[in-house]
Copies of this chain bind each other. A is one copy, B any other.
Amino acid sequence: MTHVYTSASMSLDGYIAGPGDSGFDHLFQWYGNGDVEIPTTDPEMTFKLTPQSAAYFSASTRSTGALVVGRHLFDFTSGWGGEHTLGVHTFVVTHSVPSGWEHSENFTFVTDGIESAIAQAKKHAGPDRVVGVNGGTIARQCLEAGLLDEICVDLVPVLLGAGTPFFSELRKVPVTLEGPTTVIEGKAVTHLRYKVVHP
């Protein structure tokens, strides 16, 4: 069965954004603190990673056949200017299709819930690739619906003190994980992967 993971840059105190969507200069610093250039679909955005982070990041990106994101992230990035930065087809979970995007080749707007979005994304990715889920709210919904297999954290050495937790408002806690199955030391970032234990 196609594997579903979520991934985020997270502060040591558990936030994927500081108060008022601040803190990204810290959280995303590792995307620019190395010498290995990784182009994106945005000609003005090239990641510059350390060799360790680049190898990790590239392997993860290559294996990702579809993304599922929430509407907040889609709006926050203005639809990544028309195509997700990673060049991967993206399923947007939303209550309504945003106007002007009805005929997008790169996005599918899913209005019948997270389970449908994951099912469609798995089909799109196929058996040999995985599905990435982005945005804390969507990741939580997947986790609580038993749809999430792996949690990947790019742990950043900063305390933000407040903001948006990676996982908040969890209804069934504690959530036991296994691992980390992967520990890779970048520069000012530690890449960690954990398996979700399905009951």
Q: Residue A56 at the B interface, CB < 8 A?
A: no
Contact status A12-B153, CB under 8 Å: yes
Complex formed: what's the CA distance from A26 to B67 in Å? 32
Q: Evaluate contact between B161 and A173: CB separation under 8 angstroms.
A: yes
Q: Is the interface of A mostly helix, strand, loop or mixed?
A: strand
A17-66 interface (Cβ within 8 A of B):
18, 23, 26
Q: Mark A165-199, 1 if CB is under 8 A from B, else 0.
A: 11111100111111110010100101010100000
Which residues of the partner chain B approach A176 to less than 8 Å between Cβ atoms?
A: 26, 157-158
Chain A interface size, as a band, is: 35 or more
Q: Is the CB of A159 within 8 A of B153?
A: no
**Interface 1/0s, chain A 1-16, versus B by CB < 8 A?**
0000000000111110
Decide: A18 near B174, CB < 8 A? Known: A159-B167, A194-B157. yes
Residue of B at shortest CB range from A26? B174
CA distance A159 to B170 in the complex (A): 9
Are B173 and A180 interface neighbours, CB within 8 A?
Answer: no
A11: nearest residue on chain B (CB-CB)? Answer: B174
A174's partner among B159, B174, B180 (CB-CB below 8 A) is: B159
Confirm or deny: A162 has a beta carbon within 8 angstroms of a beta carbon on chain B: yes
CB of A13 within 8 A of CB of B14, answer yes
Given contacts A13-B14, A14-B14, A183-B185, contact A175 B190 (CB under 8 A): no
Q: Which 6 A-B pairs have the closest CB atoms?
A: A14-B14, A161-B173, A157-B177, A161-B170, A159-B175, A13-B14
